[in-house]
Amino acid sequence: MDPFVNEKDFELLTQDKYTFAVLDRILREDCDLIRTNHENLILCHSAARFPVWIWTPDGCPDTVKEKAWNLAAEYRPLSDGYRFNMKYELADYFMKKAEQNGRKAGVHMQLFAYDCPSPAVPDHPADGSLYRCTPDDTEEVADLIALFYKEIGENPPSREYCVEKAQEHIGKNEFFFWKDAAGRTVACCSYRINQKLASLASVFTLPERRRKYYAQHLVYEVTKLVSDMGYMPMLYTDANYIASNACYEKIGYILRGKLCTVSAG
Protein backbone atom coordinates (compact mmCIF):
# COMPACT_ATOMS: atom_id res chain seq x y z
CA MET A 1 0.00 0.00 0.00
CA ASP A 2 1.42 3.36 -1.01
CA PRO A 3 1.29 6.52 1.17
CA PHE A 4 0.52 8.72 -1.83
CA VAL A 5 -2.13 9.06 -4.53
CA ASN A 6 -1.74 9.39 -8.27
CA GLU A 7 -4.05 9.98 -11.23
CA LYS A 8 -5.22 6.36 -11.10
CA ASP A 9 -6.81 6.99 -7.70
CA PHE A 10 -8.74 10.01 -8.96
CA GLU A 11 -9.89 7.96 -11.96
CA LEU A 12 -11.20 5.31 -9.56
CA LEU A 13 -13.17 7.90 -7.61
CA THR A 14 -15.01 9.02 -10.74
CA GLN A 15 -17.03 5.81 -10.29
CA ASP A 16 -18.55 7.50 -7.21
CA LYS A 17 -17.98 11.16 -7.98
CA TYR A 18 -20.82 12.39 -5.75
CA THR A 19 -20.71 10.02 -2.79
CA PHE A 20 -16.93 10.38 -2.55
CA ALA A 21 -16.59 14.00 -3.67
CA VAL A 22 -15.15 15.01 -0.29
CA LEU A 23 -12.57 12.23 -0.46
CA ASP A 24 -11.52 13.45 -3.91
CA ARG A 25 -11.08 16.94 -2.47
CA ILE A 26 -9.14 16.03 0.67
CA LEU A 27 -6.81 13.71 -1.26
CA ARG A 28 -5.67 16.83 -3.13
CA GLU A 29 -4.74 18.51 0.17
CA ASP A 30 -2.40 17.66 3.05
CA CYS A 31 -3.67 14.61 4.97
CA ASP A 32 -2.61 12.86 8.16
CA LEU A 33 -2.81 9.45 6.51
CA ILE A 34 -3.12 8.03 3.00
CA ARG A 35 -2.88 4.37 2.01
CA THR A 36 -3.87 3.09 -1.45
CA ASN A 37 -3.13 0.22 -3.80
CA HIS A 38 -4.33 2.35 -6.76
CA GLU A 39 -6.70 -0.45 -7.72
CA ASN A 40 -9.56 -1.19 -5.34
CA LEU A 41 -8.79 0.33 -1.93
CA ILE A 42 -8.15 3.88 -0.74
CA LEU A 43 -7.97 4.87 2.93
CA CYS A 44 -7.56 8.51 3.88
CA HIS A 45 -7.75 10.51 7.11
CA SER A 46 -7.55 14.26 6.65
CA ALA A 47 -7.13 15.28 10.30
CA ALA A 48 -8.28 14.64 13.85
CA ARG A 49 -12.03 15.10 14.64
CA PHE A 50 -12.98 14.15 11.07
CA PRO A 51 -13.98 10.62 9.93
CA VAL A 52 -11.62 8.33 8.04
CA TRP A 53 -12.66 7.74 4.43
CA ILE A 54 -12.44 4.30 2.84
CA TRP A 55 -13.24 3.82 -0.83
CA THR A 56 -13.83 0.41 -2.40
CA PRO A 57 -15.60 -0.36 -5.70
CA ASP A 58 -19.17 -1.65 -5.79
CA GLY A 59 -19.39 -5.40 -5.34
CA CYS A 60 -15.81 -5.81 -4.20
CA PRO A 61 -14.85 -9.29 -2.93
CA ASP A 62 -14.36 -10.10 0.75
CA THR A 63 -10.60 -10.21 0.20
CA VAL A 64 -10.64 -6.46 -0.46
CA LYS A 65 -12.97 -5.82 2.49
CA GLU A 66 -10.59 -7.81 4.70
CA LYS A 67 -7.68 -5.65 3.51
CA ALA A 68 -9.70 -2.55 4.37
CA TRP A 69 -10.48 -3.91 7.83
CA ASN A 70 -6.83 -4.81 8.52
CA LEU A 71 -5.63 -1.46 7.24
CA ALA A 72 -8.04 0.39 9.48
CA ALA A 73 -7.11 -1.81 12.44
CA GLU A 74 -3.44 -1.02 11.91
CA TYR A 75 -3.67 2.74 11.47
CA ARG A 76 -7.08 4.02 12.70
CA PRO A 77 -8.77 1.33 14.83
CA LEU A 78 -12.45 1.54 15.72
CA SER A 79 -11.48 0.83 19.32
CA ASP A 80 -9.64 4.16 19.45
CA GLY A 81 -12.81 6.07 18.64
CA TYR A 82 -12.27 6.66 14.94
CA ARG A 83 -15.28 6.89 12.64
CA PHE A 84 -15.36 5.75 9.00
CA ASN A 85 -17.23 6.96 5.93
CA MET A 86 -17.79 4.04 3.55
CA LYS A 87 -20.30 2.21 1.39
CA TYR A 88 -22.97 0.11 3.06
CA GLU A 89 -21.56 -3.19 1.86
CA LEU A 90 -18.21 -2.43 3.49
CA ALA A 91 -19.99 -1.12 6.60
CA ASP A 92 -21.77 -4.46 6.98
CA TYR A 93 -18.43 -6.25 6.77
CA PHE A 94 -16.84 -3.93 9.37
CA MET A 95 -19.71 -4.43 11.82
CA LYS A 96 -19.49 -8.23 11.47
CA LYS A 97 -15.71 -8.17 11.95
CA ALA A 98 -16.07 -5.98 15.02
CA GLU A 99 -18.57 -8.44 16.50
CA GLN A 100 -16.24 -11.35 15.78
CA ASN A 101 -13.56 -9.49 17.70
CA GLY A 102 -15.80 -8.96 20.71
CA ARG A 103 -16.63 -5.32 19.95
CA LYS A 104 -19.71 -3.45 18.90
CA ALA A 105 -19.92 -1.18 15.87
CA GLY A 106 -22.87 0.46 14.21
CA VAL A 107 -23.99 3.07 11.72
CA HIS A 108 -23.49 6.49 13.29
CA MET A 109 -25.02 8.39 10.36
CA GLN A 110 -26.57 7.63 6.98
CA LEU A 111 -25.63 10.08 4.25
CA PHE A 112 -27.28 10.95 0.95
CA ALA A 113 -25.36 12.63 -1.88
CA TYR A 114 -27.31 14.92 -4.23
CA ASP A 115 -26.55 16.99 -7.30
CA CYS A 116 -28.64 19.72 -8.93
CA PRO A 117 -28.35 19.92 -12.73
CA SER A 118 -31.36 22.29 -13.05
CA PRO A 119 -32.12 24.55 -10.05
CA ALA A 120 -35.86 25.15 -9.58
CA VAL A 121 -37.30 28.32 -8.05
CA PRO A 122 -38.91 27.61 -4.64
CA ASP A 123 -42.69 27.35 -4.63
CA HIS A 124 -43.12 29.40 -1.46
CA PRO A 125 -41.91 33.00 -1.01
CA ALA A 126 -39.60 34.09 1.81
CA ASP A 127 -38.89 37.60 3.00
CA GLY A 128 -35.35 38.90 2.89
CA SER A 129 -32.43 38.26 0.57
CA LEU A 130 -29.05 36.60 0.07
CA TYR A 131 -26.05 38.24 1.70
CA ARG A 132 -22.40 37.40 0.92
CA CYS A 133 -20.28 37.57 4.07
CA THR A 134 -17.31 39.94 4.46
CA PRO A 135 -14.43 40.01 6.98
CA ASP A 136 -16.61 42.15 9.26
CA ASP A 137 -18.88 39.09 9.67
CA THR A 138 -16.12 36.73 10.87
CA GLU A 139 -17.31 36.41 14.46
CA GLU A 140 -20.93 35.81 13.47
CA VAL A 141 -19.90 33.23 10.88
CA ALA A 142 -17.78 31.46 13.52
CA ASP A 143 -20.80 31.41 15.86
CA LEU A 144 -22.98 29.81 13.17
CA ILE A 145 -20.33 27.22 12.27
CA ALA A 146 -20.28 26.13 15.93
CA LEU A 147 -24.10 25.97 15.99
CA PHE A 148 -24.11 23.91 12.79
CA TYR A 149 -21.81 21.27 14.33
CA LYS A 150 -24.02 21.13 17.41
CA GLU A 151 -27.09 20.76 15.17
CA ILE A 152 -25.69 17.66 13.46
CA GLY A 153 -24.80 16.04 16.77
CA GLU A 154 -21.06 16.72 16.71
CA ASN A 155 -19.03 18.22 19.53
CA PRO A 156 -18.55 21.90 18.67
CA PRO A 157 -15.02 22.59 17.49
CA SER A 158 -12.78 25.05 19.28
CA ARG A 159 -13.40 28.76 18.85
CA GLU A 160 -10.03 29.02 17.14
CA TYR A 161 -11.09 26.40 14.57
CA CYS A 162 -14.43 28.11 13.91
CA VAL A 163 -12.77 31.49 13.39
CA GLU A 164 -10.16 29.94 11.10
CA LYS A 165 -12.86 28.28 8.99
CA ALA A 166 -14.86 31.51 8.89
CA GLN A 167 -11.84 33.43 7.65
CA GLU A 168 -11.10 30.74 5.05
CA HIS A 169 -14.63 30.76 3.61
CA ILE A 170 -14.97 34.55 3.70
CA GLY A 171 -11.58 34.95 2.06
CA LYS A 172 -12.85 32.89 -0.87
CA ASN A 173 -16.27 34.64 -0.94
CA GLU A 174 -17.89 31.29 -0.17
CA PHE A 175 -20.02 31.97 2.92
CA PHE A 176 -23.54 33.40 2.84
CA PHE A 177 -26.31 34.52 5.16
CA TRP A 178 -29.97 34.84 4.49
CA LYS A 179 -31.13 38.09 6.05
CA ASP A 180 -34.82 38.62 6.68
CA ALA A 181 -36.73 41.79 5.81
CA ALA A 182 -35.57 43.36 9.07
CA GLY A 183 -31.91 42.72 8.19
CA ARG A 184 -31.43 39.95 10.77
CA THR A 185 -29.32 36.89 9.97
CA VAL A 186 -31.65 33.89 10.00
CA ALA A 187 -29.74 31.19 8.08
CA CYS A 188 -26.34 30.38 6.60
CA CYS A 189 -24.75 28.29 3.86
CA SER A 190 -21.29 27.85 2.36
CA TYR A 191 -19.76 26.09 -0.63
CA ARG A 192 -16.40 24.69 -1.68
CA ILE A 193 -15.13 24.19 -5.21
CA ASN A 194 -13.31 21.02 -6.21
CA GLN A 195 -12.71 20.32 -9.88
CA LYS A 196 -16.11 20.75 -11.56
CA LEU A 197 -18.21 20.34 -8.41
CA ALA A 198 -19.42 22.98 -5.96
CA SER A 199 -20.24 21.27 -2.67
CA LEU A 200 -22.72 23.17 -0.49
CA ALA A 201 -22.42 22.75 3.27
CA SER A 202 -23.05 24.39 6.67
CA VAL A 203 -26.74 24.81 5.85
CA PHE A 204 -28.27 26.00 9.11
CA THR A 205 -31.32 28.02 10.14
CA LEU A 206 -31.68 29.52 13.59
CA PRO A 207 -34.28 27.41 15.45
CA GLU A 208 -36.56 30.36 16.16
CA ARG A 209 -36.58 31.29 12.44
CA ARG A 210 -37.50 27.93 10.94
CA ARG A 211 -40.49 26.95 8.82
CA LYS A 212 -40.40 30.25 6.94
CA TYR A 213 -38.61 28.85 3.83
CA TYR A 214 -35.42 30.82 4.53
CA ALA A 215 -33.08 27.84 4.07
CA GLN A 216 -34.85 26.76 0.89
CA HIS A 217 -34.37 30.18 -0.69
CA LEU A 218 -30.81 30.46 0.60
CA VAL A 219 -29.80 27.08 -0.83
CA TYR A 220 -31.57 27.87 -4.11
CA GLU A 221 -29.76 31.21 -4.50
CA VAL A 222 -26.34 29.73 -3.72
CA THR A 223 -27.08 26.74 -5.97
CA LYS A 224 -28.04 29.07 -8.81
CA LEU A 225 -24.93 31.18 -8.21
CA VAL A 226 -22.47 28.26 -8.49
CA SER A 227 -24.45 26.76 -11.38
CA ASP A 228 -24.16 30.05 -13.28
CA MET A 229 -20.41 29.94 -12.59
CA GLY A 230 -20.25 26.65 -14.50
CA TYR A 231 -20.04 24.22 -11.57
CA MET A 232 -22.31 21.31 -10.72
CA PRO A 233 -23.95 22.01 -7.33
CA MET A 234 -24.00 19.09 -4.90
CA LEU A 235 -24.46 18.45 -1.22
CA TYR A 236 -24.56 15.76 1.45
CA THR A 237 -27.50 15.33 3.81
CA ASP A 238 -28.32 13.23 6.83
CA ALA A 239 -30.73 10.63 5.45
CA ASN A 240 -32.85 10.94 8.60
CA TYR A 241 -33.58 14.63 8.00
CA ILE A 242 -36.64 13.90 5.87
CA ALA A 243 -37.94 17.48 5.83
CA SER A 244 -34.58 18.93 4.79
CA ASN A 245 -34.14 16.37 2.04
CA ALA A 246 -37.61 17.11 0.70
CA CYS A 247 -36.71 20.82 0.73
CA TYR A 248 -33.63 20.18 -1.42
CA GLU A 249 -35.53 17.94 -3.82
CA LYS A 250 -38.14 20.65 -4.38
CA ILE A 251 -35.46 23.00 -5.70
CA GLY A 252 -34.03 20.43 -8.09
CA TYR A 253 -31.63 18.27 -6.12
CA ILE A 254 -31.50 14.62 -7.25
CA LEU A 255 -30.34 11.72 -5.08
CA ARG A 256 -27.21 10.21 -6.65
CA GLY A 257 -25.65 8.02 -3.98
CA LYS A 258 -25.64 6.74 -0.42
CA LEU A 259 -22.98 6.02 2.15
CA CYS A 260 -22.73 5.80 5.91
CA THR A 261 -20.53 6.60 8.87
CA VAL A 262 -19.50 3.64 11.05
CA SER A 263 -18.32 4.02 14.63
CA ALA A 264 -17.75 1.85 17.69
CA GLY A 265 -20.94 1.16 19.63
Segments making up each domain of the chain, as ranges = 7-103, 129-258
pLDDT at position 243: 84
Q: Report pLDDT digits (tens) over 87-142.
A: 999 999 999 999 999 999 999 999 999 999 999 999 999 999 999 999 999 999 99
Average pLDDT value for residue range 233-246: 92
Residue 260: is its pLDDT beyond 90? yes
Q: Describe the strand order of the beta sheet including 42-45 as a list of residue ranges.
A: 33-36, 42-45, 52-55, 84-86, 254-264, 105-115, 232-238, 197-205, 185-194, 175-179, 129-132
pLDDT at position 242: 87
Residue 213 carries which DSSP code? S
Pick from 58, 54, 29: nearest CA to 44? 54
pLDDT at position 151: 87
pLDDT at position 134: 98
Cα separation, 178 vs 187, whole angstroms: 5
Of the pLDDT bands very low, low, confident and very high (cuts 50, 70, 90), residue 30 is very high
* More confident site: 155 or 53: 53
Residue 30 backbone dihedrals phi, psi, to 5 degrees: -75, 130
pLDDT at position 169: 97
Residue 153: is its pLDDT beyond 80? no
| Percent of the residues in the chain that have a pLDDT greater than 70, as a whole number | 100
Mean pLDDT of the chain, nearest integer: 96
pLDDT at position 128: 98
**CATH no., domain 129-258:** 3.40.630.30
Average pLDDT value for residue range 32-54: 96
Compute CA distances 173 → 48, 199, 240, whole Å.
26, 14, 30
pLDDT at position 129: 98
Pick from 53, 49, 37, 41: nearest CA to 3? 37
Q: Report pLDDT digits (tens) over 157-204.
A: 899 999 999 999 999 999 999 999 999 999 999 999 999 999 999 999
Residue 54's DSSP bridge partners are 43
Average pLDDT value for residue range 148-162: 88
Cα separation, 135 vs 241, whole angstroms: 32
| Percent of the residues in the chain that have a pLDDT greater than 90, as a whole number | 94
For helices 62-75 and 88-100, angle between their N-to-C axes, nearest 10 degrees? 60
Compute CA distances 5 → 26, 34, 74, 154, whole Å.
11, 8, 19, 29
CB 119 within 8 A of CB 224: yes
